[in-house]
Amino acid sequence: MQNALLLTLLLPSIATPIVYFIGKRKAKAAGLLVALIAVIDIALLFTIVPSVLNSTEHQYVEAYYWIPTLGSSLTLFADGISLSLAIITLILIVAAALFSINYMQERKGLPEYYALLTLLFVGLVGVFLTSNLLLFYFCWELMLVPAYFIIGGWGYKEPYRAAFKFFIFTHAGAVFVLLGIGAIFMVTGDLNMFQAKDALMLVEPDLVKWILLSLTVGFAVKMAVVPVHMWLPDAHSEAPAPMSALLSGVIISAGAYAILRLSLGIVFPAIMGTDFGSLFLHGLAVFGVISAFFGSFIALVENDVKRIIAYSSIAHMGYVLFGLSLFPFQNAITGTVLHLVNHAVSKGLLFLSAGALMKQLEIRDIREMGGLAGQMPVTATSSATSALSIAGIPPFACFFSEFLIFIGAFEIINNDGFYLFPTALMLVATVLSLAYALRYVTHIFLGPQKIAEVKESPMAMKFSMAILTVLVVILGVWPTFFIQLITTASFV
């Protein structure tokens, strides 16, 4: 369909004030409208899947007249990687919007909440669907502002403190991103990612190094890699559950996507094969291992139901960063992108099920829970499915993506012995993932019943969790659709 990508971004943009005014009359209708818009966008993106799979370049591009003084057109772009992440983002938005109908119904200011959620929707999807660096940065920052107000306005104990921390860290990271984009434009005179890539091949390597480092540091902040992770536990635990699902499922994944698309895909080829290039990839591997262990160890001792999941997100971004360090090996990159898809669905589901627990129990400490499987069977099934997926247990989603990452690691060991020790450590980290996942499920749903009467979640919340639960299983058993899309993309 012509203009599919433009319509994908225009629909939620135009709908934002409409959602607000509908929410003034009936909040439930606003939530349903957000979900409907996301479903329409999913349908629009599926119309371009054949073009991406079957065209010679495996890309779909729309270009529109924009800023002639900068020689910049508004270029919307999709390949197998960006399309996969945009589709999974929209699925999470559908689940988050439907979940919000019951979860947020007793809160004030719901018209503003749903309008901000719709605006956030534009930034989240836009990051994945453009090859124009200026539009990319606009969408990158557009993720930040609505997220700040949602966390601050509808969070828990100290929401604005957590929101401010989130804002400061991620905006500081955005400054590094802007410096990198500005430097690319300065030395190439181009704001199109792929044309800039060719021009950077002719630029002095010392300058390319600084561009690469500036972009990567900025993206790593959004990705919440140790040691720039400090914003994540507070923001994830204080945000309302639907926002936590999007924070962990999509926003930190956008940081990983940006490292792959810009740092590695556009800038890194100019210094590939140099000593600095190898050192850069080794550095990614080291920080990946550190993040995986740090997040896992804290998740093992944390007792707050949402902070356990938050630290798990740090651990899994460690897996992703390790996978990115294996660039450009096909199995490793395919596994890494697939892990972003699988982690988004699994972690989004885990945060929604945690929100269901907090809504029904009004407690957060897992030591005060227990024996809830019989009273909350849907929530228990959703939690167990997502936790086992995060632990890398077959036949759930994250198993296969982790498996592909390790296949890529074993392939690269033959060429670069450095990766032997980090790969061994990452295998150990998978055991820690299983440990905190089993601890989470056991403390909450098994053992003696500590709370007398607990009702299962309302229908809209159960339906949202059911959608993602089914998807976690499907992705674990049949990941073929996304693998076919991802493997069509080329970076070198």
Give the pLDDT of residue 448: 85
The answer to whether residue 492 sits within a structural domain is no
How many structural domains is the chain composed of? 1
Note the pLDDT of residue 190.
87
Q: At residue 91, what is the residue type?
A: I
Q: What tens digit of pLDDT does each residue of 202-260 get?
A: 889 899 999 999 999 999 999 999 999 999 999 988 999 999 999 888 999 999 999 99
C-alpha dist (Å) from residue 484 to 84, 128, 329, 453: 10, 18, 16, 47
Query: In this predicted model, what pLDDT tens digit does every residue of 358-400 receive, in sequence order?
Result: 999 989 999 999 899 989 999 999 999 999 999 999 999 999 9
**pLDDT at res. 155:** 87
Establish if 293 belongs to a structural domain: yes
pLDDT number for residue 492: 55
Q: How far is Cα of residue 291 from the mean position of the Cα atoms in its chain? A: 16
pLDDT (0 to 100) of residue 52: 94
Residues of the chain with pLDDT under 50: none
The whole domain housing 265 covers 4-487
Nearest to residue 94, comparing CAs of 154, 42, 147, 135?
42
Amino acid (1-letter code) at residue 145 = V
- Whether 410 is in a domain gets the answer yes
pLDDT at residue number 65: 82
The residues near 265 (Cβ < 8 Å, ≥ 6 apart) are 193, 197, 491
Contact predicate 305/444, CB 8 Å: yes
Residue 82 placed within a domain: yes
How does the average pLDDT of the chain come out, rounded? 93
> Does any domain span residue 264?
yes
Q: Residue ranges of the alpha helices (H) in 249-396?
A: 252-258, 275-301, 305-324, 330-361, 377-390
What pLDDT was estimated at residue 366? Answer: 93
